[in-house]
Structure 1
Amino acid sequence: MLPAWLLPERLWGPLWRGIARIPVFTNRRAIARSADTIQAALGEVDRRRAEGIARDLRAAIYEMRMQDLRAWRPGGWRPRMVLEGEQHLKDALALGKGAVLWLAPFVFNSGPTKIAIHEKGYRVSHLSSPQHGFSETRFGVSYLNRVRCIPEDRYLAERVVFDRHAPASAMRRLMRAVKSGNVASIVAASTEGSDLVKGPIFGGRLPVAIGAPRLAGLTGAPMLPVFTVRDPALGFRVIVEPPIVLDLHLAADERVVAAAAEFLRRSEPWVRRYPEQWRAWSKWRRA
């Protein structure tokens, strides 16, 4: 808490990247496994670069936790950020069917995405996992994860928590929000839902949660991919891309598989540019 409140934000990244390179603070086997995956997927990176990406990813995750704690300081956390592609969201909402945002699983997609879209005046209902935060234990879900969720909720119209025992209830709430002309956001990570498909990326396969295309198919709302990354020059970039058009001539299951493939195709350039910010490396498998 004290470093998060007292240290200037510009020092957070260098601090954690330095710590991630001290052997006692990192699991060398975990770094090696991540580096193996990164080399296999990207192909063109050497071993030193792959291990650097793995360590920088670990550092980014800890830096994100400092952002969560900084948000509790009076005045909150006010990052430097820019919302790009907002016109795509405006055009989608102008159709009168609401909009579905499909968020790519980058480290910094949580706080900056919610803040940037809220500050433009949009009402967002966000699908959230009970494990969103710091812990998957019963105690952590009940108490620790609130450290992240409570500050984020300032920027949401509602948080819809996914219940694996009653998945339809979350979908119904999101449908109501979208049919009211508002925005629903869903992360494509495999932790965000029970229905998954394996889509192609980097010559391999990745499990993708398909709640977003299911919601778009049920409501007719446009579905827009969103990529949130930190850029050294611009700060946090929240990029809204043009909609992924669902092929209504396909059966429902085929439709979501095609949507996942298109989402991953659009993800590749962003992952190549910011590989140390992509949280899905551990889920990627060779084809």
Structure 2
Amino acid sequence: MYNWIGQLTQGGRGIRFAAAAAGFMPKPIAFGMCWTIARLLYTFAGRQIKERIRRNLTELLELRHSWKLKEIEKDYFLNLAVTLYELLLESQAGQPGLCPERIRTEGEHHLQDALTQGKGAIVFAPHSGNFFYYYLLLTRRYSCMTVVTAGSPELRPIYEQFGSFGCRGLDYDHTPPLELVRTLRKHLQAGGVVFLLGDFYREAFPEAEFFGKRSRSPGGTAMLALAEEAPVIPCHGYRNRMFRHRLIFEQPRFLNREFATHERETATNSLNRWLERVIREHPAGWFYWFNADERFASKQIV
């Protein structure tokens, strides 16, 4: 999957030409083009990658109906194609789709109310829908920063593109841990918003449970929420029609009222159960089906 993305992000002049053309292309035609590309990707993706995606869907979602699995697989490739269109063509043309008609927010007052308490706020989300657009929207409306894993050469051009739009992000792969934590804490103490994607995976992350299996999850949300008493706003987005999205903010959680400071893993597991729920609700929009199996230990939790 990263190889495909890399071929597109490093497309050079061809991508720039396509981006210029995208600025004049009617959206129904652009979506039809994305649909065709998605079907071609699905058809010629190769047996190994499709079997891996299906195996992950079957195991994590406990699905057994072949017609349902095939439907999710096709929608998964469609979301990837449309998201890449938005990121590589629409955004490079300087026209990221942030208008209310494109991204409809629901429950945003939960975030606004939380910020009045003076502790900042952590927006906690999965890699679903077009998470780059959701972060850009937050950046335009709030003093917001995030943590990214920009070590991948395939994804770096996308991060740089959104950095040019004013998105601030700390690179987990290259920022010293103490500096990263200190910067995020100061930002929260100043009343800012921190956007954290809770389904990253690194072998160095703390142990946690995800879909009933031992795994590793970033512990930053739990750590900051417990130490700074910052409210956590669960937030997820999904594509509901062509290039249109819904971005849903849920009621804040105050982890410091639910868990003791030393119960960081238990707090993370609680957040992961929320991630599981929203992934199950809109499975085709979750980015990591192509390699989800890499994040699980061999022994399943009993």
Residues 1:82 and 1:234: Cα distance change in structure 2 (over 3 Å): farther
Matched, 1:272 2:280: yes
Gaps of 5+ in 1: none
Tell me the TM-score normalised to structure 2 length: 0.78
CA distance in structure 1 between the aligned counterparts of 2:54 and 2:275, rounded to whole angstroms: 20
CA distance in structure 2 between the aligned counterparts of 1:11 and 1:122, rounded to whole angstroms: 34
1:14 aligns to what?
Answer: 35
1:154 aligns to what?
Answer: 165
Aligned pairs (5 A) from 1:204-283:
204-232=213-241, 235-247=244-256, 250-254=259-263, 256-281=264-289, 282-283=291-292
Matched, 1:84 2:106: yes
1:61 aligns to what?
Answer: 80
Q: CA deviation at 1:183?
A: 0.6
Q: CA deviation at 1:77?
A: 4.1
Matched, 1:99 2:108: no
1:189 is paired with a residue whose SS is coil
CA distance in structure 2 between the aligned counterparts of 1:43 and 1:210, rounded to whole angstroms: 27
Given candidates 12, 21, 27, the residue that maps to 2:46 is 27
- How many residue pairs were aligned? 271
Given candidates 181, 187, 196, the residue that maps to 2:191 is 181
2:59 aligns to what?
Answer: 40
Q: Is the 8 A contact 1:85 1:241 kept in 2?
A: yes
Percent of pairs identical after alignment? 19
Aligned partner letter, 1:252: T
Q: Which moved more, 1:71-80 or 1:88-97?
A: 71-80
Q: Is the 8 A contact 1:116 1:238 kept in 2?
A: no
Q: CA deviation at 1:257?
A: 2.1
Aligned partner letter, 1:122: Y
Aligned partner letter, 1:222: P
CA distance in structure 1 between the aligned counterparts of 2:194 and 2:203, rounded to whole angstroms: 15
Residues 1:263 and 1:257: Cα distance change in structure 2 (over 3 Å): same
Q: CA deviation at 1:78?
A: 4.4
CA distance in structure 2 between the aligned counterparts of 1:196 and 1:283, rounded to whole angstroms: 17
Tell me the TM-score normalised to structure 1 length: 0.81
Matched, 1:129 2:120: no
Gaps of 5+ in 2: 1-14
CA distance in structure 2 between the aligned counterparts of 1:261 and 1:221, rounded to whole angstroms: 18
Q: Which digits, 9 at most, give the CA deviation of each residue in 1:211-233, with x for residues without a partner?
A: 11112222221111111111128
Q: CA deviation at 1:184?
A: 0.9
CA distance in structure 1 between the aligned counterparts of 2:228 and 2:277, rounded to whole angstroms: 29
Q: CA deviation at 1:250?
A: 4.6
Q: Which moved more, 1:102-111 or 1:89-98?
A: 102-111
CA distance in structure 2 between the aligned counterparts of 1:175 and 1:193, rounded to whole angstroms: 24
1:252 is paired with a residue whose SS is coil
Residues 1:103 and 1:149: Cα distance change in structure 2 (over 3 Å): farther
Q: CA RMSD in A?
A: 2.8
